[in-house]
């Protein structure tokens, strides 16, 4: 009985971090209690396994980024703004390692996690449409009207671009699971969810989300068949170039891809770069963008996650990012040459495509740390989605490469025999 309870607690380790997010967003439970709950599995895991966590390929970048976040908090001109993002960032790190520690869990565990994530995305979509702050065009006005009775009832509003960015990460993964070899019920479930979330993405009219999702699906095609990827990419570029002058005279296209929005982003990027010239190594301090790039007030941020990272953490954040990208590229190449007949291959390829899509979306929006308004107060917090995807990449890569090596050994033994 005690053994089963210990196993259940270790499997639930990632979910023990959720009270920290609730404390930051809702004020309850108290943060000290949330952190007490979050670290409960750590001594238990150390007692059972002799270690606090498994090693992962991203350990060094995470360590460097954590030091950068702590330094950014120390240098922050507004600790009321920087405290929530520091707490939620540390919770994201703990969430990441909680998932990696359960890499040997059965399929049902990951299926439950996928279902839980789907419910969160549906909830965030409802919040976004209820907030009504997105682009209202001819094909999505009914969705805002349908969600309007929920305005104020669901709590804080969510920017539609946040939903677009989240869906851009998830949809390529679902498409890959549908496309590659997998159990029939898994493929059908993934395909249905891909269609539903694709519909929500279209209704969101999030131009950045559309672009990132299409890029992610192209990466899935690359993993599936390189020739299909190049032919599809070339045909898409030609089609867009040929029809863009016609389409851009359409009212809803201008609303989804407004030139004014792009110009506004360029202005913010230039202002951020100018502000960083005075402190290129230390950055502006955690959350310091809103104090030191004050021309734009509290509405939005730099609209570029990479500039935001440098603003918050300085050179340490950029070093951590470069190392993470190098490690990611190595993992992506290993996946490309792994066994495509493995059921895990499609899952791993989809997770990879989702991360790349998230990285593209990060060029246009802030999708790692987000500022939201609750009443008259502003809250800056870390988004756990990309941490979830990074953990899934590590877990799926580990399983895929183990299976590939196992198959190679079996093939070699059969040849010898």
Residue-by-residue DSSP string for 274-287: HHHTT-TTTTT-TT
What angle (nearest 5°) sits at the alpha carbon of residue 212, between those of residues 322 and 251? 140
- Give burial (CB, 10 Å; 0-12/13-18/19+) of 179: buried
371: helix, strand or coil = strand
Question: What pLDDT score was predicted for residue 408?
Answer: 47
Tokens in use for 344? Answer: 């895990």
Question: What pLDDT score was predicted for residue 413?
Answer: 35
Question: What pLDDT score was predicted for residue 311?
Answer: 93
Question: What pLDDT score was predicted for residue 197?
Answer: 94
Provide φ and ψ at 356, rounded to 5°: -65, -40
Exposure letters 230-263 (e unless 16+ CB within 10 A, then b):
eeeeeeeeeeeeeeeeeeeeeeeeebbbeeebee
- The beta-strand segments (E) located in 210-259 are none
The single residue listed with the structure tokens 């800056």 is 380
Low-confidence ranges of the chain (pLDDT < 50): 406-417
The dihedral through the CA atoms of 370, 373, 379, 384 has a sign that is negative
Backbone dihedral region of 300: left (phi > 0), alpha (psi from -120 to 50 degrees) or beta? left
Tokens in use for 153? Answer: 């009832």
Total count of residues recorded for the chain = 417
What lies within 8 Å, CB to CB, of 363 at 6+ separation is 304, 305, 306
Residue 184's alpha-carbon distances to 190, 191, 224, 353, in angstroms, are 10, 10, 18, 22
């Amino acid at each position: 009985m005690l053994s089963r309870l210990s196993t259940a607690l270790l499997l639930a380790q990632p979910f023990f971090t959720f009270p920290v997010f609730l404390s930051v967003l809702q004020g309850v439970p108290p943060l000290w209690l949330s952190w007490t709950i979050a670290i409960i599995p750590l001594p238990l895991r150390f007692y059972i396994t002799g270690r606090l966590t498994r090693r992962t390929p991203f350990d060094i970048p995470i360590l460097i980024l954590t030091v950068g976040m702590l330094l950014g908090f120390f240098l922050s001109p507004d600790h009321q703004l920087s405290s929530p993002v520091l707490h939620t960032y540390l919770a994201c790190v703990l969430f990441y390692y909680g998932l990696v520690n359960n890499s040997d869990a059965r399929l049902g565990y990951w299926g439950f996690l996928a279902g839980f994530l789907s419910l969160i995305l549906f909830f965030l979509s409802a919040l976004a449409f209820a907030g009504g702050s997105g682009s209202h065009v001819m094909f999505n006005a009914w969705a805002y009207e349908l969600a309007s009775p929920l305005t104020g009832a669901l709590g804080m509003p969510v920017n539609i671009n946040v939903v677009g960015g989240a869906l851009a990460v998830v949809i390529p993964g679902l498409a890959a699971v549908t496309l590659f070899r997998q159990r029939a019920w898994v493929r059908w479930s993934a395909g249905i969810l891909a269609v539903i979330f694709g519909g929500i993405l279209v209704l969101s009219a999030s131009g950045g989300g559309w672009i990132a999702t299409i890029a992610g699906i192209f990466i899935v095609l690359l993993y599936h068949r390189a020739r299909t990827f190049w032919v599809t990419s070339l045909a898409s570029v030609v089609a867009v170039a040929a029809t863009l002058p016609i389409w851009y005279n359409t009212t809803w296209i201008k609303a989804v891809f407004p030139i004014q929005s792009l110009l506004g982003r360029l202005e913010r990027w230039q202002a951020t770069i100018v502000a960083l010239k005075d402190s290129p190594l230390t950055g502006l301090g955690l959350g310091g963008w809103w104090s030191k790039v004050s021309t734009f007030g509290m509405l939005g941020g730099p609209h570029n996650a990479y500039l935001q990272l440098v603003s918050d953490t300085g050179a340490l954040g950029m070093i951590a990012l470069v190392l993470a990208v190098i490690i990611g590229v190595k993992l992506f190449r290993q996946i490309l040459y792994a066994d495509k007949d493995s059921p895990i291959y499609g899952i791993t390829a989809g997770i990879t495509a989702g991360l790349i899509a998230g990285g593209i979306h990060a060029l246009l929006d802030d999708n790692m740390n987000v500022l939201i308004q609750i009443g008259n107060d502003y809250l800056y917090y870390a988004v756990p989605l990309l941490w979830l995807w990074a953990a899934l990449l590590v877990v799926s890569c580990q399983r895929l490469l183990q299976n590939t090596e196992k198959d190679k050994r079996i093939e070699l033994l059969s040849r010898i025999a």
